[in-house]
Amino acid sequence: MMKTYCLELAGDYACFTRPEMKVERVSYDVMTPSAARACFEAILWKPAIRWHIRKIEVLKPIRWINLRRNEVASVVSTHNVETAMKNGTGILGLNIEDDRQQRAGLFLRDVAYRVHADLEFFSEHDPDAHANKYYEMFERRASRGQCVNQPYFGCREFAAYFRLVTDLAAEPAPIDETRELGFMLHDLDFTKPADPQPRFFRARLENGAVNVPDWNSEEVRG
């Protein structure tokens, strides 16, 4: 039987970047399902499993902050990496002074969410036994605060601190707010790994919670 898990995620800043903003970073009002999925994967990810986000509850009022940050304009080229791997040596660094650019951003501040997700398991050999192993692995890691890499809110410098929620009845209610959020990024379609395509859904904040439609539903569009 498929289990549902809940994580409380909190941090000082967040930026769930709207893809239509080409230059400046502007965040969605609420955490996106793809960002929430990445937080679960930071605790446990294997090729045989897939996380599905079902609901995102907003625990603190939505607040904004304008920040201007220094960013690096480019990345290390794939060609340089391949050459270094082949030869055993190479230059993989970037000169920050030559590549620095300053960008303004509209970010969220003092954020907290309660995210509900379930784990889908892919295997043709005794799926229940293998699923239980992954369930136990996630529960152990999440309850101890262990992760493969630090979960984050959209940008790696915006760390997300997590806690496994085991008793929802003892948790505080989400914010008392209802409004339309417009089209929101659901996730990327990796059917073609070299050219992943974004898919969107019309999000609505209902009594502080966003219900996330299933990936294959008619509500999710490319």
What one-character-per-residue DSSP string does 65-116 give? EEEEEEEES----HHHHHHHHHHS-------HHHHEEEEEEEEEEEEEEEEE
Query: What would you report as the CA-atom Rg of the chain, rounded to the nearest whole angstrom?
Result: 19
Residue 38: what pLDDT?
96
- Phi/psi at 82 (nearest 5 deg)? -60, -40
Find all residues with CB under 8 Å of 105, minimum gap 6, and list them.
15, 24, 25, 26, 27, 66, 67, 68, 69
Residue 167: what pLDDT?
95
pTM (two decimals): 0.85
Structure tokens at 115: 């995210």
Helices 127-144 and 33-43, packing angle to 10 deg: 90
Count Cα atoms within 13 angstroms, Cβ side, for 21: 16
Residue 1: what pLDDT?
58
Say whether 14 sits in a helix, a strand or coil. strand
Beta carbons of 200 and 183 less than 8 angstroms apart: yes
Residue 125: what pLDDT?
46
- Phi/psi at 139 (nearest 5 deg)? -60, -40
Q: Tell me the sheet residues that pair with 38.
A: none
Residue 193: what pLDDT?
82
Neighbours of 215 (CB within 10 A): 16
Per run of 10 residues, the mean pLDDT along the chain (length 222 residues) is: 89 94 86 97 91 97 88 70 77 67 85 95 61 89 95 95 96 97 94 89 97 94 87
Count Cα atoms within 13 angstroms, Cβ side, for 106: 12
- Phi/psi at 50 (nearest 5 deg)? -145, 130
